[in-house]
Structure 1
Amino acid sequence: MIRLDNISKQNGHQILFIDASMGLQKGEKVGLVGPNGAGKSTLFRMITDQEQPDDGQVAIDTGMKIGYFSQDVGEMSGQSAVAAVMDGVGPVSALATEMAQLEAAMADPDQADAFDAIIERYGEVQARFEELDGYSVEARAREVLAGLSFSQERMDGDVGLLSGGWKMRVALARILLMRPDGMLLDEPSNHLDLESLIWLEAFLKNYDGALLMTSHDRAFMNRIINKVVEIDGGSLITYSGDLDFYDQQRALTEAQRQAQYERQQAMLAKEIKFIERFKARASHAAQVQSRVKKLDKIERVEAPRRRQTVQFDFRSPPRSGDDVLNLRDVHKRYGSQSIYAGLDFKVRRKERWAVLGANGAGKSTLLKLVAGDTTPDEGSVTIGASVRMGYFAQHSMDLLDGEETIFESLEGSFPQAGQGALRTLAGCFGFSGDDVEKPCRVLSGGEKARLVMAKMLFDPPNLLVLDEPTNHLDMATKEMLVAALADFEGTMLFVSHDRHFLGALSNRVLELTPDGIHQYGGGYSEYVARTGQEAPGLHPGG
């Protein structure tokens, strides 16, 4: 269906692809992997004809319909979310809008003179609408939006008033409703809560077209894909299987290449030693010459490129008292909406609470109450003795000074720390070499999140309150963060939609549901095993 044959592509001085090839067939679900900046988005743009390869060709079956979801959603306003989604299917949305206008005109006494003409036009429009199966398209559009956690009110509201994250969901819903022959999804899991992620996972599993996707969410990608294409040093390497299989194969290939490289290096050293030793002796001239020729002809094995993974070692936080947090009879309302009515919740030292709940259940509100960002209407929030809190929220990233460089920002927070220690810290969080000289204003969401996290963890607090800490983080940084937090000796209270993060780090679960608040001893994996669901409000297995 889609083939890339020997493509080469250069962006400025950076070579992205050299004679790279891959194919994508109907029914294949492919995960595209590679470090940031390797060319994943460029690959998508070449398939959709937004960019051309410098060499080679991109071949797509005639008549094949491709839906492409990217992080750049463009301008949306002046229509409802449901109409914006239906727009992806073609003229159905325009016909629905005209029908609504004609219905209003029929009821308008000022237009009584034109009543016959209006009725006639309405009949034409309605017939065309039915021909295109318009009524079922709208129902399907609403079903997709509901799956992505839209309320009826939000579906019918002006799409222009939505936040960036909700507009992303509208753009994603548009592609899903199209049901194209091929889908290219660039980070569809960003900005989704756990319930939406699980719904999308089921939708994509049942999709029978060709799928090529990137995602920083390992669990999400692993459950959908049956093939991995890796961008590695300008090549496209295909592995059949999921990410776990890819990791094993890659490690195996790397070990074989390393052994091959070492064997060749030993052989070369032996030959060079012989040449050096006997090159001055006339009696050995013929042997020396033949060995020199042999060395010239040998194709050198390259040493495998080591993936740079830097581990972050936590300093031990100061010990807190055994009672870390106590919320007593907490009430909290926003306008007419009651979020908490008499919440009692205690956190003891070394507990790691994952907070689960559907959109609007009050997860972020709980973290804000604990952090002192908001106050309860009634009741008390008590922080225990010797507790030092570190709070990571989505707005933390807005507090960075745009004019400072990454290094200046770190230095301002830790004036006593040496340059070497701060460079090491920056390296652990993905800022190597000259990256530390970038001003904060040019950083992406992911880079800002990494910088804020680095500042919070360098001199670690003994209570970490984290609201979606893995949003915007790539897989490698997430792995580093999970490994670092696994050894953290303090207490944690966090919200996350990343199931790998939830499973690896929680030892308690607080579940917020419309019918009450439930506490579970044991972490997220035990919660899933006990409830038969991966998120509150989902039916077992659904």
Structure 2
Amino acid sequence: MLSVSNVSMRYGAKVLFEEVSTAFTPGKRYGLTGPNGAGKSTFMKLLSGELDPQKGTVVRPRKLGVLSQDQFAFDAFSVLDTVIMGNKRLWAALQERDAIYAKHDMTDEDGMKLGELEGIVGEEDGYTAESDAAILLQGLDISEDLQTRKMGELQGGQKVRVLLAQALFGHPQALLLDEPTNYLDLDSIHWLQGFLNTYDGVVIAISHDRHFLNSICTHIADIDYETIITYTGTYDDMVVAKTQVRSQIESQNAQREKKIAQLNEFIARFAAGTRSSQVQSRRKEVERLQVTELARSNIQRPFIKFEQKRPSGKHILEIEHLSKSYDGKLVIRDFTASITRGEKIALMGRNGAGKTTLLNALLANSPTTPEAELRKTSGYDGPFADGGKVIWGHEASIGYFAQDHRSLIET
């Protein structure tokens, strides 16, 4: 059982949640929702033990799987070892066991300790740990040849998938997943959905992917009104229920306010007259009809507007026989396409298939993207295309949002 009792957290004058009590039941999958800044990641840290609540208590199961957000913490370890570290009890026993075996002369005490450690390794399925880790990694598209490499040799998206495997390893009784679909391709997301939907422990996931939450969640724990309210159903079900509840309260308040205004008018007219008993009766009814106080919701509805300085020509982009290879491996082969104004195109494929490579090849000839900026965001100093033509149309203005903007931030 994973639960919180009378938990409160605030930062200065900002209250995230006040005296929250809720329990998360095994076999249920919860989406933790709320706008940015509502306290989702803070609540996750309270559940994992990374943060202590300012007030209240948290009860955790013995085994807790947590998706690490630090991509660089395990750079010195192999991929397989990083996954096995997800079972802290097993990893500690393996390390201590290996240290004893490395001794030239073992004492009787060492022998007794080894027996104890071998027992822990057996209890935690340590003898099949590497094969179990490999199965998880294979499902997340980490190929066998990558599994023996150091984490520091992997790309960012690959690291995230390994850290996801780490959280899933060792059959934890509860899983805490903060944005688990970041950097995952569609096949990996579908694999994860299937895994979570058959998982028999508690799942608590933060995600900005509404479709992912709808596919896995049995409940939504929504942070709003300085508390956490749990709704049964998917994210879409929660939005409907939450809107209906608030609309119903607002409607009831409007009716009560209208009735109170009528009663107050009667009281003002006859307070000094002979109908004192009726006035007193209406005063009591006014007290009874007090409106329900509605706390201010922290939901914000942003609006993004893209303004064109001037319209482009009809033919916005022509691609002719574009090709690109890395170290003899052909990534783009003789690609030709014509794109007209108003079209919306999704570029899809597995991680490593060449989606970003194609975008870089198109942007290399962009009239509005400086090459120096593209070099920084891509980290690549070779030619973006080996052959072919990219022709941007008349008055084409190109905006680009790269995967990683850190290189453009001045420090």
User: TM over 0.5, yes or no?
Assistant: yes
SS in 2 for 1:236: strand
**Equivalent residue letter for 2:80:** V
2:351 corresponds to: 359
Report the CA distance shift for 1:97/1:352 in structure 2 as closer, same or farther (over 3 A): farther
- Would you say the 8 A contact 2:318–2:339 is kept in 1? yes
CA deviations on 1:221-242 (whole Å, 9 max, x unpaired) are 2111111111121222121111
- Would you say the 8 A contact 2:46–2:52 is kept in 1? yes
**Equivalent residue letter for 2:265:** K
**Equivalent residue letter for 2:24:** L
1:27 positional shift: 0.6
- Would you say the 8 A contact 1:24–1:210 is kept in 2? yes
Report the CA distance shift for 1:83/1:242 in structure 2 as closer, same or farther (over 3 A): same
Is 1:145 matched with 2:142? no
1:310 positional shift: 3.6
**TM-score, normalised by the number of residues in structure 1:** 0.63
1:68 corresponds to: 66
Give distance in 1, aligned partners of 2:327 and 2:246: 59
Is 1:376 matched with 2:368? no
SS in 1 for 2:399: strand
Report the CA distance shift for 1:133/1:255 in structure 2 as closer, same or farther (over 3 A): closer
1:52 positional shift: 3.7
Is 1:186 matched with 2:195? no
- Would you say the 8 A contact 1:325–1:381 is kept in 2? yes
Any unmatched runs of 5+ in structure 1? 106-113, 115-120, 403-542
SS in 2 for 1:208: coil
Report the CA distance shift for 1:330/1:73 in structure 2 as closer, same or farther (over 3 A): closer
Give distance in 2, aligned partners of 1:343 and 1:93: 52
SS in 2 for 1:353: coil
Report the CA distance shift for 1:310/1:264 in structure 2 as closer, same or farther (over 3 A): farther
- Would you say the 8 A contact 1:69–1:184 is kept in 2? yes
Report the CA distance shift for 1:237/1:393 in structure 2 as closer, same or farther (over 3 A): same
Which of 80, 83, 93 is the aligned partner of 1:82?
80
1:204 corresponds to: 196
Identity of aligned residues (%): 34
**Equivalent residue letter for 2:15:** I
1:387 corresponds to: 396
Give distance in 2, aligned partners of 1:276 and 1:128: 85
1:322 positional shift: 2.5
1:138 positional shift: 0.8
Any unmatched runs of 5+ in structure 2? 105-110, 365-373, 375-382
Give distance in 2, aligned partners of 1:328 and 1:174: 44
Describe how 1:9-20 pairs up with structure 2 within 5 A: 9-20=9-20
1:336 corresponds to: 328
Which of 131, 137, 148 is the aligned partner of 1:156?
148
| Bigger fraction of residues in helix | 1
CA deviations on 1:318-357 (whole Å, 9 max, x unpaired) are 3322322111111212232221232222212222111111
Give distance in 1, aligned partners of 2:212 and 2:303: 24
Report the CA distance shift for 1:93/1:3 in structure 2 as closer, same or farther (over 3 A): closer
Give distance in 1, aligned partners of 2:178 and 2:51: 16
1:5 corresponds to: 5
Give distance in 2, aligned partners of 1:304 and 1:11: 19
CA deviations on 1:390-447 (whole Å, 9 max, x unpaired) are 2222245643556xxxxxxxxxxxxxxxxxxxxxxxxxxxxxxxxxxxxxxxxxxxxx
CA deviations on 1:335-387 (whole Å, 9 max, x unpaired) are 32221232222212222111111122110111111111464211111112232
Give distance in 1, aligned partners of 2:276 and 2:317: 83
**Equivalent residue letter for 1:82:** L
Is 1:44 matched with 2:53? no
Report the CA distance shift for 1:145/1:165 in structure 2 as closer, same or farther (over 3 A): same
Q: Which has the higher contact order (CA 8 A, sep 6+)?
A: 2
- Would you say the 8 A contact 1:86–1:93 is kept in 2? no
Which stretch has the larger CA shift, 307-316 or 184-193?
307-316
Report the CA distance shift for 1:361/1:93 in structure 2 as closer, same or farther (over 3 A): farther
Give distance in 1, aligned partners of 2:62 and 2:289: 46
**TM-score, normalised by the number of residues in structure 2:** 0.81
**Equivalent residue letter for 1:44:** M
SS in 1 for 2:353: coil
Report the CA distance shift for 1:52/1:330 in structure 2 as closer, same or farther (over 3 A): closer
Give distance in 2, aligned partners of 1:273 and 1:310: 42
Report the CA distance shift for 1:295/1:57 in structure 2 as closer, same or farther (over 3 A): farther
Which of 174, 177, 180 is the aligned partner of 2:169?
177
Which of 302, 310, 324 is the aligned partner of 2:293?
302
1:82 positional shift: 0.9
- Would you say the 8 A contact 2:139–2:188 is kept in 1? yes
- Would you say the 8 A contact 2:178–2:207 is kept in 1? yes
SS in 2 for 1:341: strand
Give distance in 2, aligned partners of 1:169 and 1:142: 12
State the number of aligned residues. Answer: 383
Report the CA distance shift for 1:230/1:80 in structure 2 as closer, same or farther (over 3 A): same
Which of 177, 184, 187 is the aligned partner of 1:195?
187
SS in 1 for 2:22: strand
- Would you say the 8 A contact 1:82–1:156 is kept in 2? yes
SS in 1 for 2:348: strand
CA deviations on 1:111-152 (whole Å, 9 max, x unpaired) are xxx8xxxxxx9xx89x94984644532112122122222233
SS in 2 for 1:390: coil
Give distance in 2, aligned partners of 1:53 and 1:97: 33
